[in-house]
Amino acid sequence: MYANPSQNPALSLDERIKILYPMVNEEETNLPKSWSIKDKYNYIGLSQSNLRVHYKGHGKTHKDASSVRATHPIPASCGLYYFEIKIVSKGRDGYMGVGLSAQGVNMNRLPGWDKHSYGYHGDDGHSFCSSGTGQAYGPTFTTGDVIGCGINLIDGSCFYTKNGHHLGVAFQDLPGQLYPTVGLQTPGEVIDANFGQEPFLFDIEGEMKELRRKTQAVIANFSWPKALGDWQTVLHKMVSTYLVHHGYSQTAESFASTAGQEISEELTSMKNRQHIQKLVLAGKIGEAISTTEELYTGLLQLNQDLHFRLKVRQFIEMVSGTDSLDSGSGSPHPPAAGWSPSPRMDTDQENNHTLHTEGVTNGNTNTENSNGNVNCSLAGPTDSMDCDQTKPNSILSNPARFEALIKFGRSLQLMAMELEQTRGKCDANTKMLQDAFSLLAYADPWDSPVGWQLDASGRESVCAALNSAILESKNLPGRPPLEISIAHSKQLLKLMSTSELGACAFTDIDALLN
């Protein structure tokens, strides 16, 4: 075991930087991982995947100094960024500088000598802050030493380490968008860079933990605006509306009684919604549609796109063998308006629930094992199929079931055409239907490029959409304030990461909730 996860030598570069900088989205923002072959002076040579730097000039005067910048600037969303340099050889004089610089700074100089350039030099141990005059800072460094450079993106301070020991703050109030930079000046000088390719000698994760603790303390001590009322009452209401939203009637009733809150919806209505959600999450989409039409007359007619999504999901569940293959919507006898679920169902569903901001979740995801697979092709004559048609759940083993599926698919196609005529072409609906129908093209739909549709997790989004539509039809919020607040907080963190606000790196919403 390792004291810090990033110290595991078996990790790849990408795995290590993901641990160190979790708020950096590398699809949008690049991290420095090597030296640039373009952003350097002529006397700099690169090798070993552009991580080794060697000096190839004459080194007669300071005018022969040469530097190189990393391929990308340091993103603020790192919160605290760190890299290390190993001195492979100090060369003739050891005139080496390690530090940071902005794009456009002269590379015919050691880092720290020009404006927006900052460096720690090995020959005298001085720090140079945008000036040719250095300040006493730390020890000199030579062959075999490992020099680290860290920048705090919250307060703009920079520190260095030597052989794993913190040397203290060298610079403060640094600007953003700086690049890791090294400079060499005399023959024989060679250094290797570590941007996360290997475990760092210095315990950078310890520094990050302290910054995370300080940031979360600021959040915990934040003063609640008096204009919003008593904070405890507001939070109680948010929890209550969340329980009501997801139909957890027993828990909502118990919480309301304890917290002195009023429930915003009748218990009967909550139980009806809970029943419909249970049907959808169990893959009984036809019965869910019938029940919705019985209890909330006209709802699906007013939400035609939602109705279409439900019917497409029903087709998918038919392919999986979960839903009914008759020509109707489902059960001909849905529960009456006063229907109440059994206590066991209400309790089980609440016990299995965990908080998610994107939709409803449920523990029942093992559709393949619980309902059986459709392992034969549905797309052609049975005599051309190389599959086991004797499987109990095989549609091809039951011509009536196969015909019912084809008939249902035709009704879906007609529904899509009617929607297009009345509301215009909808690419999302077209793709949804095409994906669903493509399941019929494979001998084993489960083990196919489109088999992901058969996974039970696909029920969650349509379940959440139906639940929201029911609530909105009763003039209740389609999303509970608690989920909206969490989603807003996560979006604010993303905006912070793109606005040079490094504190976003140390604010983990999920960790705060757990």
Task: Select from 191, 219, 247 the last residue of a domain.
Answer: 219
Type of residue at 150: G
Residues 280 and 211 in one domain: no
**249 lies in some domain:** no
Type of residue at 476: L
**252 lies in some domain:** no
Q: Cβ-count burial of 93 within 10 angstroms (0-12 exposed, 13-18 middle, 19+ buried)? A: middle
Type of residue at 336: A
Residues 112 and 210 in one domain: yes
**11 lies in some domain:** yes
**239 lies in some domain:** no
Element (H, E) at 36: strand 35-40
DSSP bridge partners of 119:
99, 128
pLDDT at 351: 38
Residues 183 and 312 in one domain: no
Residues 151 and 22 in one domain: yes
Residues 127 and 36 in one domain: yes
Q: What is the CA radius of gyration of the chain?
A: 31
Residues 213 and 282 in one domain: no
In the chain, the number of structural domains is: 2
Average pLDDT, the chain: 81
Task: Select from 219, 252, 278 the last residue of a domain.
Answer: 219
Cα dist. 169→57, 146, 156 in Å? Answer: 32, 17, 11
Element (H, E) at 294: helix 285-295
Residues 316 and 393 in one domain: yes
- Alpha helices in 372-442, H assignment, sequence order: 399-423, 427-437
**389 lies in some domain:** yes
Residues 376 and 442 in one domain: yes
Residues 145 and 293 in one domain: no
Residue closest to 153 by CA, chosen among 251, 92, 76, 236: 76
Q: Residue 321 in contact with residue 394, Cβ under 8 Å?
A: no
Residue closest to 112 by CA, chosen among 92, 134, 93, 91: 134
**493 lies in some domain:** no
Rounded to an integer, what distance in angstroms lies between the CA atom of residue 241 and that of residue 460? 20
pLDDT digits (tens, 9 = 90+) for 459-469: 999 999 999 99
Q: Which residues contact 106 (CB under 8 A, 6 or more apart)?
A: 114
Q: Residue 182 in contact with residue 98, Cβ under 8 Å?
A: yes
Q: Which residues contact 49 (CB under 8 A, 6 or more apart)?
A: 34
In total, the chain counts a number of residues equal to: 514
Q: Residue 292 in contact with residue 276, Cβ under 8 Å?
A: yes
Please name the residue that has the structure tokens 């992901």. 452
Rounded to an integer, what distance in angstroms lies between the CA atom of residue 259 and that of residue 236? 7
DSSP code, position 107 = S
Residues 77 and 171 in one domain: yes
Q: Residue 65 in contact with residue 109, Cβ under 8 Å?
A: yes
**33 lies in some domain:** yes
Q: Divide the 514 residues of the chain into consecutive groups of 10 and give the mean pLDDT of each group.
A: 86 94 88 96 96 92 93 94 97 95 95 96 96 94 97 95 97 94 96 97 93 81 69 75 76 76 74 91 94 93 94 92 60 36 37 33 32 33 34 56 83 92 87 90 84 93 92 83 77 75 76 64
Q: Residue 79 in contact with residue 211, Cβ under 8 Å?
A: yes
Residues 185 and 276 in one domain: no
pLDDT at 400: 75
pLDDT digits (tens, 9 = 90+) for 341-391: 333 333 334 433 333 333 323 333 333 333 333 333 333 333 333 333 333
pLDDT at 10: 94
Query: What residues make up the domain containing 174?
Result: 5-219
Task: Select from 164, 190, 219 the last residue of a domain.
Answer: 219
pLDDT at 285: 95
**412 lies in some domain:** yes
Structure tokens at 106: 């002269």
∠ at Cα 115 (114, 116), nearest 5°?
Answer: 115
What is the residue-wise DSSP string for 271-291? HHHHHHHHHHHTT-HHHHHHH
CATH label of the domain that carries residue 182: 2.60.120.920
DSSP bridge partners of 182:
68, 98
Residues 141 and 283 in one domain: no
pTM over 0.75: no
Rounded to an integer, what distance in angstroms lies between the CA atom of residue 497 and that of residue 77? 5
